[in-house]
Amino acid sequence: MQHMHFHFLETAREIQDEIIALRRHLHQNPELSKKEYETSKYIQSYLTNLGLDAKIIHGTGVVALIEGEKPGPTVGLRADIDALPILEVNDLPFCSQNPNVMHACGHDCHTAAVLGAAKILLKHRRHFQGNIKLIFEPDEELSGGAKHMIEAGVMENPKVDAMFGAHVNPLLPVGSVGILPGKAYASSNPFEITVTGKSSHGAKPHLGIDAVMLAAQILNAIQVYVSRQVDPLDSALITVGTIHGGTQRNILAQEVKMTGIIRTLDPALRKRTVETLPEIVSGIARALGGEASINIITSASGIVNDPAMTELVGNSVRKLLGESSLIHMDKPSMGTEDFGAFLEHAPGSFYQMGIRNPGKGAVHPLHSDQFMVDEDALPLLSALHAQVAFDYLAEASVKKK
Ligand SMILES: [Zn+2]
Ligand SMILES: [Zn+2]
């Protein structure tokens, strides 16, 4: 048992060509969010060939269970599977063959790595007590597939006791792994504000209610909320990205519509922000004689990594790749990741796999049409997933005794 980690890395090296081939197939055949039909069939058939019972869930999601030799807790490994509406400009033998669709967020790598981890774990099945649930999530990029998979029961039968997942990260050198306990990604709430005034001649503003002026006051007030009602050491961000209203320069606008996003790191601050903004928006408009309302949508949950689970990942990285491969990330991201929805149902941690290598052109940011990865990271990520799952089950069974 002592040297189990050597086995995981060795096994990953033995099958690394296969893991890379899986990733290249997915990269060549990317599919957009909610339309991952061929992708989920491909995942399902690979798992079926491994002897697993892989089920389609929530349209294009896939779930499968690896049962250890002895009963015990269940640990989840998650990969997201969708691609983006981007035309790939890279010149690779396995470039996207689907015009205007590209795996520019590395979800092809995430999927291949969890499939590789499944194969590694099956080879070592006799060494673990408990189950590993493999979860392939569709629609991460658009509306968030996690909550629908959860509603469809993915976290039950057997109940998932801990969840792990990873994202490739082009800012971290290949071979390294980043961890961050606590708040790691922001939650997202898109919104639309409708401001209603009353039209009149632009030279007789007192006879109407100017929706453009109301919108300006509302824009100001919501930024005052951020700067004056939120602890400066917490993070709330409100961006208004579009504003449309009015018909002609000498007519007071009857209506203005604005759309934007709210991002917060702290779940309690998210709740307070979502509760406070409608009061500000309607209160300002009413005070000036008009009306305004805000429709706030609940999108991705933020990621709050469980400290103990994050420490477990750190120890798995040390065992597998050595202390020098472990990077303690210094700050969270105001970006979003749908993995957070799973962490509302089980503790866990989301780690960052370094893929940066200037020598191979792997330097471009996520969602870039030039996004590229150093594939040397793939067997490492498969081995790490296997190690993390194994270490969790081993720790959980010791605790039980
Ligand atoms: Zn993305
Ligand atoms: Zn992503």
The residue among 367, 372, 314 whose CA lies nearest residue 178 is 314
**Which has the higher per-residue pLDDT, 399 or 274?**
274
Q: How far apart are CA 221 and CA 216, in angstroms?
A: 9
CATH 3.40.630.10 boundaries in the chain: 4-184+303-400
Q: Say which CATH topology domain 4-184+303-400 has.
A: Aminopeptidase (3.40.630)
The pLDDT, as a whole number, for residue 300 is: 87
Q: What is the 287 CA–ligand 1 centroid distance (Å)?
A: 41
Burial group, residue 111, by CB count within 10 angstroms (0-12, 13-18, 19+): buried
Q: What is the 70 CA–ligand 1 centroid distance (Å)?
A: 37
The pLDDT, as a whole number, for residue 397 is: 82
Structure tokens belonging to residue 223: 């930024």
CATH 3.30.70.360 boundaries in the chain: 187-296
Partners of 257 in the β-ladder? 194, 244
CB atoms within 10 A of CB 158: 15
Q: What is the 36 CA–ligand 2 centroid distance (Å)?
A: 15
**Nearest ligand, measured from the Cα of 102:** 1
The pLDDT, as a whole number, for residue 1 is: 46
187-296 classified as CATH 3.30.70.360: yes
Tens digit of each residue's pLDDT (9 = 90 or more) over 70-112? 999 999 999 999 999 999 999 999 999 999 999 999 999 999 9
Q: What is the 107 CA–ligand 2 centroid distance (Å)?
A: 6
Please say whether the beta carbons of 350 and 149 come within 8 A.
Answer: no
Q: Band of the pLDDT at 7, cuts 50, 70, 90?
A: confident
The residue among 312, 315, 309, 319 whose CA lies nearest residue 5 is 319
Mean pLDDT of 358-366: 97
Q: What is the 50 CA–ligand 2 centroid distance (Å)?
A: 26
Q: What is the 81 CA–ligand 2 centroid distance (Å)?
A: 9
Tens digit of each residue's pLDDT (9 = 90 or more) over 37-48? 999 999 999 999
β-strand pairing of 291-296 with 70-80: unpaired
Say if residue 231's pLDDT is above 50. Answer: yes
- C-alpha angle 74-16-94 in degrees, rounded to nearest 5: 110
Q: What is the 14 CA–ligand 1 centroid distance (Å)?
A: 30
Please say whether the beta carbons of 10 and 4 come within 8 A.
Answer: no
pTM, two decimal places: 0.91
Q: Rg of the chain's alpha carbons, rounded to an integer?
A: 24
Mean pLDDT of 189-202: 97
| Residue 261, C-beta contacts closer than 8 angstroms, at least 6 positions apart | 188, 189, 190, 191, 237, 238, 239, 241
Q: What is the 19 CA–ligand 2 centroid distance (Å)?
A: 19
β-strand pairing of 291-296 with 348-356: unpaired
